[in-house]
Structure 1
Amino acid sequence: MTTQPAVLRFTAFSDDPEGGNPAGVVLDAAGLDDDAMLAIAADLGYSESAFLTAPPEGLGGADGRAFTIRYFSPKAEVPFCGHATVAAAVALGERIGPGDLVFATRAGTVPVSVTRDDGALRATLTTVEPRVEPIADADLAEALAALDWPAADLDPALPPRIAFAGARHLVIGAATRERLADLAYDFPRLEALMHRLDLTTVQLVWRESPAVFHVRDPFPVGGVVEDPATGAAAGAFGAYARELGLVEAASVLTLHQGADMGRPGVLTVELREGDRRVRVSGAGARIA
């Protein structure tokens, strides 16, 4: 008789279980095949869940602190997920204590540091090498049509681009907070475009101040209308902001996400001069 592994529930990018982005975490998924992991993710209904197994041979990291990690949405496996990485790291921080971790993901090796701050655990992941590319005019027009966003509602200071830091995200800048707040899109139309462009989310951004941004992430390809806090997209956005010269080469950015869904979270994005990788950090909390 096969024993079902423990499925933990953690939120990421908030120290409040009612905020941030919830994720399922299975710390020992060695006995699960792909169908079983997908079934658990679908049953939970969170945007992603993380499944940990033994690390591949040769992966660096302290003994007992390196893992293979896979991510499943309710619909499919995804190559990388920031919030589920933070959730898994915080879960491990509870179990084996704060410190450095190494995760082998489909997108590459992702180091994570877990610290304790005023009693709460916080995780910082370092992305794989990011990249930014243009989007074709016709594809942008289709995205805006699916969102029902007139081109006049875009912020010309935040030009649309596709950014990658483990997964691909289309970044679109909103001219006003009101535009960002009004999100009612054509789910199947946007989903079809995203599959064609191999996008994980569309990251909609409004800039409040030089280093503070508000973001929302439709996620129809994962079977979820909207992601409450998207660490992979935050990493991609950091690379985007640096490449387009929107911020200094060494910067700390604050991204607010989830407030429009009633699950507010805060994502901290750190850019370091001389290192193209992006660091994304946030608190985490167990969901009872």
Structure 2
Amino acid sequence: MEIPVFTLDAFTNLPFRGNPAAVCPLMHELNDDLYQKIAAEMNLSETAFITRINHADNFTTGSRFRLRWFTPTTEVNLCGHATLASAAVLFQHKNNVNPTLVFETKSGDLAITKKGEGYVMDFPLNPPTRQDPNEFRDIIKAAVGNHPIQEVYLCSNLKKLLIRLADSCDTSVLTQLKVDPVALESSERSGGIRAVIITIKGSPDCQPGYDFYSRNFAPWVGIAEDPVTGSAHTVLGSYWSEKLGKKKMLAYQCSSRGGELELEVRDDGRINIAGQTITVLQGMIKL
């Protein structure tokens, strides 16, 4: 059996930046064990599998597909960059004729529309709730050390903990953080947290005018640091929209690879996340 595979860097228009995702468009479903083995072999933060819902469709004419995402160790319920990459594969490599594609996922229907040089994803908004930092003392210590924090929020349905650094910290504090994934994972064993988002207020008056910066760590699902994380921005977008009093924001995830996301919080409880992609690899998995 031969399975086509593409690797795309998402939330960037430059190779070797943004977040790489592997995408496999499949004519038939595979078993979960094989999905997981392929994702482990690809060894990227996510591998996405696209399958047809209506077998009369093909990847060029169909407008609805099933989409699943796997890290090297587990399946996840929501992934932004691999969704962006999956849409790009269908639009760019399969020459899909539709202006909008819809993926049926574990997080409901996700629509992706062409926009200029990139794509806009219609995602659920995931508002976090404020927490007492003392209840997360160990995980905060493992994540940010002795740096001062402004506040701590938790998105319980995605199990993402948001730690906002104090406004007295500049961007270099965030970019220079050295987070030990083993220590971070060991600091939280309840199962209630699967990722830690560390964020800081931006400087929209300075070019290119980022409203906020972030980094994302998820050793609990086999990802020491995720380079650019769409799902985290469903939480960050909600949080910063309220704090800044803005619906439209420009965000930068300042991992070593880095990536830019355009966000628009909508009144219907959804968020638009826009970004670009670039293909860096195309080939076949032979089984």
TM-score (norm 2): 0.84
- Give the equivalent residue in structure 2 for 1:167: 158
Residues 232-279 of structure 1, C-alpha deviation per residue, up to 9 Å, x if partnerless? Answer: 10121111223xx31225x21111124x41x2211111123x222111
- Give the equivalent residue in structure 2 for 1:153: 148
Q: Report how far residue 97 of structure 1 moved.
A: 4.4
8 Å CA contact retained: 1:235, 1:269: no
- Give the equivalent residue in structure 2 for 1:37: 35
Spell out the pairing of 1:80-95 with structure 2 (5 A cutoff): 80-94=78-92, 95=94
8 Å CA contact retained: 1:126, 1:280: yes
Change over 3 Å in CA distance of 1:32–1:231 after alignment to 2 = same
Structure 2 residue runs of 5 or longer lacking an equivalent are 205-209, 282-287
Q: CA–CA distance in 1 between the matches of 2:227 and 2:41? A: 18
Residues 171-224 of structure 1, C-alpha deviation per residue, up to 9 Å, x if partnerless? Answer: 111232232122222323422455634434211112122562121111212322
Q: Name the SS for the 2:38 alignment partner.
A: helix
- Give the equivalent residue in structure 2 for 1:202: 196
Q: Name the SS for the 1:38 alignment partner.
A: helix
Change over 3 Å in CA distance of 1:15–1:239 after alignment to 2 = same
Spell out the pairing of 1:243-282 with structure 2 (5 A cutoff): 245-248=242-245, 251-258=247-254, 260-261=255-256, 263-272=257-266, 274-282=267-275
Spell out the pairing of 1:26-65 with structure 2 (5 A cutoff): 26-28=24-26, 30-55=28-53, 64-65=62-63
RMSD of Structure 2 on Structure 1 (CA) = 2.4
8 Å CA contact retained: 2:103, 2:109: yes
Q: CA–CA distance in 1 between the matches of 2:97 and 2:12? A: 19
8 Å CA contact retained: 1:131, 1:163: yes
Change over 3 Å in CA distance of 1:88–1:223 after alignment to 2 = same
Change over 3 Å in CA distance of 1:67–1:167 after alignment to 2 = farther
- Give the equivalent residue in structure 1 for 2:284: none
8 Å CA contact retained: 1:5, 1:29: no
Pairing 1:132–2:161 present: no
Q: CA–CA distance in 2 between the matches of 1:125 and 1:180? A: 27
Q: CA–CA distance in 1 between the matches of 2:136 and 2:54? A: 39
Query: Which of 188, 191, 199 is matched with 2:185 structurally?
Result: 191
8 Å CA contact retained: 1:170, 1:202: yes
8 Å CA contact retained: 1:48, 1:72: yes
8 Å CA contact retained: 1:81, 1:231: yes
8 Å CA contact retained: 1:68, 1:105: yes
What is the one-letter code of the residue matched to 2:155?
A: A
Percent of aligned pairs sharing the same letter: 27
Q: CA–CA distance in 2 between the matches of 1:51 and 1:198? A: 27
Size of the aligned set, in residue pairs, is 267
- Give the equivalent residue in structure 1 for 2:222: 223
Q: Name the SS for the 1:15 alignment partner.
A: coil
Pairing 1:111–2:111 present: yes
Change over 3 Å in CA distance of 1:206–1:140 after alignment to 2 = same
Change over 3 Å in CA distance of 1:199–1:48 after alignment to 2 = farther
What is the one-letter code of the residue matched to 1:234?
A: H
Change over 3 Å in CA distance of 1:136–1:105 after alignment to 2 = farther
Q: Name the SS for the 1:50 alignment partner.
A: strand
- Give the equivalent residue in structure 1 for 2:285: none
Change over 3 Å in CA distance of 1:168–1:97 after alignment to 2 = farther
Structure 1 residue runs of 5 or longer lacking an equivalent are none
Q: CA–CA distance in 2 between the matches of 1:148 and 1:214? A: 15
